[in-house]
């Protein structure tokens, strides 16, 4: 019987370089069952490269990955049945309608028709997606394509949902509904790996956060633990300040702001 503390995903000293760029550099982390884990870092920190290695889309140079005790490349098919993936850019079949896409997924994944129909109806209503259910995906806005992608990733009740910047492009109401969907998913024992460059989103949504910079974890813990650490460094520091400081963005921001002020005023 699974417990809440069961580790669902374990990454150990993962590294990947592209020519002379260390995109991911000795990264280690663990995600427990029933938790939302945030991979937080600025542009180019190595988030997408990490996600691609977890999905078996990129081969690591070094390190170990274990998801539900399975290996991304050796157990590719079985893992595909246990993981749901939402990419940064919607990668779904644009020549289909959402209805056709969901039917296609239900048939290749051999999902229970009645259960799936009920679940789809709830998601479509919650995300206000019914009105374009029978329109070609290619004609939908970016945010609406993203909603369809999120629903498609959840149809088979994956144990682990991997989402690469999934909320960019969504309106405020949809962000709220997606958050609710993720809460439900974790309450049922599922886990989520969530990548973002926005501290506020990570703080709002994640049980645990790993802040990464230049491919390395520079801080890891629950929001409360990170907040405490920020306070210990400087009472006036909030979580956003510590994120900017740990990812070397604070001085560059001050410099840019000063330059802008000098130019504009
Ligand atoms: P963003 O928030 O902008 O999406 P990220 O944290 O997802 O960034 P990655 O896309 O993983 O960052 O990129 C990490 C580093 O690896 C960057 O310096 C990037 O230029 C480099 N990189 C990623 N993919 C390749 C590639 N195929 N060839 C060469 N360099 C790459």
Closest CA to 98 of 53, 128, 55: 128
The closest residue, in CA terms, to atom 27 on ligand 1 is 18
Q: How far is the CA of 23 from the centre of ligand 1 (A)?
A: 6
Contact status, residue 58 vs residue 23, Cβ threshold 8 Å: no
Taking the CA of residue 48 as reference, the ligand 1 atom at the shortest distance is 7
Instruction: Give the C-alpha separation, 157 to 99, whole Å.
Output: 18
Q: How far is the CA of 111 from the centre of ligand 1 (A)?
A: 35
Find out whether the beta carbon of 43 lies less than 6 Å from any atom of ligand 1: yes
pLDDT of residue 1: 43
Residues 6+ apart with CB under 8 A from 178: 127, 150, 166, 167, 170
DSSP strand E in 120-165: where? 160-164
pLDDT of residue 2: 46
Q: How far is the CA of 164 from the centre of ligand 1 (A)?
A: 13
Q: Which two tokens stand for residue 183?
A: 């809460």
pLDDT of residue 90: 67
Instruction: Give the C-alpha separation, 194 to 196, whole Å.
Output: 7
Instruction: Give the C-alpha separation, 171 to 147, whole Å.
Output: 10
Please compute, for residue 19, the number of CA atoms within 13 A of its CA located in the half-sphere on the CB side.
0
Q: What is the mean pLDDT of the chain?
A: 86
Find out whether the beta carbon of 45 lies less than 6 Å from any atom of ligand 1: yes
pLDDT of residue 250: 66
Find out whether the beta carbon of 44 lies less than 6 Å from any atom of ligand 1: yes
CA Rg value for the chain:
20
pLDDT of residue 49: 95
Q: How far is the CA of 43 from the centre of ligand 1 (A)?
A: 8
Q: Is 188 left (phi over 0), alpha (psi -120 to 50) or beta?
A: alpha
The closest residue, in CA terms, to atom 30 on ligand 1 is 18
Mutate to test the pocket of ligand 1, among 17, 49, 52 (most ligand atoms within 8 A of CB): 49
pLDDT of residue 60: 95
The closest residue, in CA terms, to atom 1 on ligand 1 is 43
Which residue positions in the chain have pLDDT lower than 70?
1-5, 90-92, 233-235, 250-265
H or E element, residue 8: strand 7-18
Find out whether the beta carbon of 49 lies less than 6 Å from any atom of ligand 1: yes
Contact status, residue 132 vs residue 140, Cβ threshold 8 Å: yes
Domain ranges of the chain: 93-157
Contact status, residue 147 vs residue 112, Cβ threshold 8 Å: no
DSSP class per residue in 210-260: EEEETTEEEEEEEHHHHHHHHHHH-TT--HHHHHHHHTT-HHHHHHHHHHH
Find out whether the beta carbon of 23 lies less than 6 Å from any atom of ligand 1: yes
pLDDT of residue 4: 46
pLDDT of residue 264: 61
């Amino acid at each position: 019987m699974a417990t809440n503390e069961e580790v669902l995903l374990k990454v150990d000293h993962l590294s990947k370089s592209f020519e002379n760029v260390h995109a991911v550099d000795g990264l280690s982390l663990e995600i427990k069952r029933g938790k939302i884990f945030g991979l937080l870092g600025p542009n180019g920190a190595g988030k997408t490269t990490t996600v691609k290695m977890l999905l078996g889309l990129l081969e690591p140079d070094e390190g170990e990955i274990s998801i539900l005790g399975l290996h991304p490349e050796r157990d590719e098919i079985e893992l595909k049945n246990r993981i749901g993936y939402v990419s940064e850019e919607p990668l779904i079949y644009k020549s289909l309608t959402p209805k056709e896409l969901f039917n296609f997924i239900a048939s290749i994944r051999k999902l229970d028709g009645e259960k799936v129909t009920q679940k789809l109806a709830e998601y479509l209503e919650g995300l206000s997606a019914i009105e374009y259910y029978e329109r070609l995906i290619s004609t939908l806005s970016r945010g609406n394509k993203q909603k369809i992608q999120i629903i498609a990733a959840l149809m088979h009740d994956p144990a682990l949902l991997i989402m690469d910047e999934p909320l960019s492009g969504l309106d405020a109401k949809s962000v709220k509904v997606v958050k609710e969907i993720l809460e439900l998913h974790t309450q049922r024992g599922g886990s989520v790996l969530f990548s973002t460059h926005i501290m506020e989103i990570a703080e709002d949504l994640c049980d645990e956060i790993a802040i990464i910079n230049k491919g390395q974890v520079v801080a890891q813990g629950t929001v409360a633990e990170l907040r405490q650490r920020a306070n210990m460094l400087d009472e006036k520091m909030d979580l956003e300040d510590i994120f900017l400081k740990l990812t070397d963005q604070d001085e560059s921001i001050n410099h840019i702001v000063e330059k802008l002020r000098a130019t504009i005023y």
